[in-house]
Amino acid sequence: MKSGALAAASLRLRDLPGFPKRAGRPRTRPASDSIPVRENAPVGRQQRVEPAVLLDPVPTIAEETPALPPRLLGARDGGAYIGCSAWTLRELVEKGYLRKVMLPGINRLLVDVRDLDELIEQSKREQGRAR
């Protein structure tokens, strides 16, 4: 009886520590081939080898060219751009303050960054006239 319980406990202790045993969560153990080990280390005392760091990496074309900011933004990003929620941005489109951009094959709300900038500038001018 004890040998069965001890055997089950030893099997549980062989798994990776820290993860609760729940369904749907895979338990993976790194392959021993994937861990670099120092070759002259004594048996049983193998030490990990840190990967070498390149001192002067060669820049790629993608790193040399600057990334262009997107011109069209979705509801969430457009709302964050002007400082409101996605639902407020949708209401601005419905009320006609902003124009929705329709692209073939894309079925979501897109607004132009230039229209957002124009809306901000118009609201500044209107506040200046009211004073």
pLDDT, tens digit, 9 for 90 and up, residues 9-68:
777 777 666 655 566 655 565 555 555 555 565 555 555 656 666 566 666 766 666 778
Average of per-residue pLDDT values in the chain: 77
- Say if residue 122's pLDDT is above 80: yes
For 86, the domain range is: 72-130
**Considering the domain boundaries, does residue 113 fall inside one?**
yes
Question: Across the chain, where does the E strand assignment appear?
Answer: 72-73, 111-112
In this structure, are residues 46 and 38 in contact, taking their beta carbons and an 8 Å threshold?
A: yes
Number of domains in the chain: 1
**Considering the domain boundaries, does residue 35 fall inside one?**
no
State the average pLDDT over residues 72-101.
95
- pTM, two decimal places: 0.49
**Considering the domain boundaries, does residue 117 fall inside one?**
yes
Angle (CA) 37 47 10, round 5°: 100
Q: What is the domain-level CATH number for residue 109?
A: 1.10.1660
